[in-house]
Structure 1
Amino acid sequence: MSMLIEDFMGRILLDLPDDALRRLEHLKERRKLPRAALLREAVEQYLDRQNQDVVQNALGLWGDNAEDGLEYERKLREEW
């Protein structure tokens, strides 16, 4: 027996300032997409960015550090 799996979408009610609605309307006209599609895209991008921020924050001070961790540890031990 095969089952069909459907993607279900929930609905939300969203209040936006008039300026944001105007800007969204301009974007809708420029990109020729429905407003709902633009909002879905914006939410997906926001959520992806939040996930990336979590990963970067998890790396702490080592995130942008090019120094080798083992070498750093050796330098610290030399101070003892």
Structure 2
Amino acid sequence: MTLLAKLEMGRIPIDLSDNVIQRLDNLKQLRNQPRAELLREAIEQYLDQQSSSVIRDALGLWGNEQEGGLEYERKLRDEW
């Protein structure tokens, strides 16, 4: 029994351009995998990338600031 047979899955109809379908079919032949599997893999990679970029953006809120958090806090307190 495959892993996919154990998972509950929903269906989402999507419209794709003829060009994208052709490229997907080319990849399907190269990798010998069904279209649905290729699309699932692509969507999972996209979602993983989005999740990690949100975390990366949040952790990099200071950007290229040379000032550290403690220095910034002291500067704010000096304004009081």
Is the TM-score greater than 0.5?
yes
Match of 2:57 in 1: 57
- Matched residues in 2 for 1:64 and 1:37: separation? 41
Q: Give the secondary-structure state (helix, strand or coil) at the position aligned to 1:57.
A: helix
2-structure distance, mates of 1:7, 1:45: 18
User: Can you give the 5+ residue segments of structure 1 that lack an aligned partner in the other structure?
Assistant: 1-5
2:10 alignment counterpart: 10
How many equivalent pairs are there? 73
Provide the identity percentage.
54
Checking the alignment, whether the CA contact within 8 Å between 1:56 and 1:63 is kept in structure 2 is: no
Q: Which residue of the partner structure matches residue 36 of structure 1? A: 36
SS at match of 1:47: helix
Higher-RCO chain (CA-CA 8 Å, sequence separation at least 6): 2
1:15 is paired with a residue whose SS is: coil
Coordinate RMSD, CA, aligned = 2.7
Letter in 2 for 1:30: L
Runs of at least 5 residues in structure 2 that lack an aligned partner in the other structure: 1-5
Cα offset for 1:60? 3.1
CA distance in 1, matches of 2:63, 2:50: 16
TM-score, structure 1 as length reference:
0.70
In 2, Cα distance between the equivalents of 1:21 and 1:64?
42
